[in-house]
Structure 1
Amino acid sequence: MSEQREPWAERTVEMPPGDQNPFRRGRAQVGHARSDQPAQPHVPTGTGWPGDTSAIPRPVFSEELRLFRRGAGLMLMGALFAFVCWGLWAISDGGSLGTPVALFVLTGLVALGLYALARVVGRVVLEKQLGRVRRSARGAHLVTAVFLAGVGLAYLRQIDWVVDAWSWFAGLF
């Protein structure tokens, strides 16, 4: 080949001079390789130039929504546990429900922020740094569920009769 000053030149084939065309018209062979030629192993070419992470295809919105739903049950179970524990705490407090409702809404907003942060960290670490494709949101849902379960346990620790029952149960062993 001649000088390769353009970046595309390294991927092109020079044609021989004159009318000597090395290519023939016909059909491409599809299917099994001929027995006289050994089968070549598949060599993956990647998704673009080395270090180019913008070539990772982004799923469409419906696919993104389907991926979001994977693992959502974990977060919903954590939210249900936190809600039940909050309800027990709010009822046992005996006062007005204004402050407990505001506190639960704030807790929900913090949980949503934690979920968003876990998704961003997953995108940066898995997709950008490691070049992997995320197949679900289970990790972010799990982090949020653990947070909500911890919040529920914190609510339970503030209820006198639950603490007394736990102390009695722990005293049996």
Structure 2
Amino acid sequence: MVDQTQPWAERTVEVPPQRNAGFRRGVASVGQPASERTEPTTEPFPVAPHEPTGSGWPGEPTPRMPMSYQLQQLRKGGEWSAVGGLFAFVCWGIWALSGHGDLTSPVMAFVLTLLVATGLFGLSRLLGRLVWERQFGRIRRTARGAHLVTGVFLFVVGLAYLRQTEWVIDVWNWVRGM
């Protein structure tokens, strides 16, 4: 008899040993031999009809992603625009301070530059949507290409500000003449 003082004892039932003629310890039973079977061993699975779920069918619009996902997608690659914008700002500052005059016109010029860069970013995203998504059927997961185009534009604008600064050009010509 099992000791009932143990906590597991009340859930444990002793089974008397069975004397089975076909039982051998350590050998699994696999059923009847193939020669004794009369029925097929497999049954065909029933085929369920296809029910459209509304996604992936040609001609149907794809569902829109949430706004938080779209903003997160726009941030990826932003370092290119940030570096180009920082370079343009430093070069603009050198150009504006070397003019020794009123800063209203240079500020308006830099604001206009940033507006053009924003429009260029939007145009790059639109072209990416038309070419990359619609023509090639690919999914855009980042905005790196548009940020790269915007960063290159801002870098070139920064160089243009430096080329309009007389003392920077004089230093450049002096270094080249050495």
TM over 0.5: yes
Contact preservation (8 Å) 1:156, 1:162: yes
Distance in 2, Cα, partners of 1:58 & 1:79: 31
**Over the residues paired in the alignment, what is the CA RMSD in angstroms?**
1.9
Larger-Rg structure = 2
Unaligned runs of 5+ in 2: 1-44, 48-54
Distance in 2, Cα, partners of 1:151 & 1:111: 10
Distance in 2, Cα, partners of 1:101 & 1:59: 38
**Matched residues, percent identical?**
53
Task: Tell me what 2:56 maps to.
Answer: 47
- 1:83 Cα deviation (Å)? 0.5
Contact preservation (8 Å) 1:53, 1:128: no
Q: Structure 1 residues 81, 75: CA separation in 2 closer, same or farther (over 3 Å shift)?
A: same
Distance in 1, Cα, partners of 2:116 & 2:46: 65
- Indicate yes or no: 2:117 matched with 1:111: yes
1:103 corresponds to which letter in structure 2? A
3-state SS of 1:93 partner: coil
Distance in 1, Cα, partners of 2:129 & 2:162: 35
Task: Tell me what 1:64 maps to.
Answer: 70
Distance in 2, Cα, partners of 1:162 & 1:60: 48
Task: Tell me what 1:33 maps to.
Answer: none
1:64 corresponds to which letter in structure 2? Q
CA shift digits 1:33-84 (9 cap, x unpaired): xxxxxxxxxxxxx9333xx4833x5322111111111110110110011011
Task: Tell me what 1:162 maps to.
Answer: 168
1:170 corresponds to which letter in structure 2? R
Q: Structure 1 residues 74, 53: CA separation in 2 closer, same or farther (over 3 Å shift)?
A: farther
Task: Tell me what 1:79 maps to.
Answer: 85
Distance in 1, Cα, partners of 2:57 & 2:153: 39
Deviating beyond 4 angstroms after TM superposition, the runs of 4 or more aligned structure 1 residues are: none
- 1:98 Cα deviation (Å)? 0.7
Instruction: Report how many residues are paired.
Output: 127
TM-score normalised by structure 1 residue count: 0.68
Contact preservation (8 Å) 1:53, 1:131: no
Find the partner of 2:106 among 86, 89, 100: 100
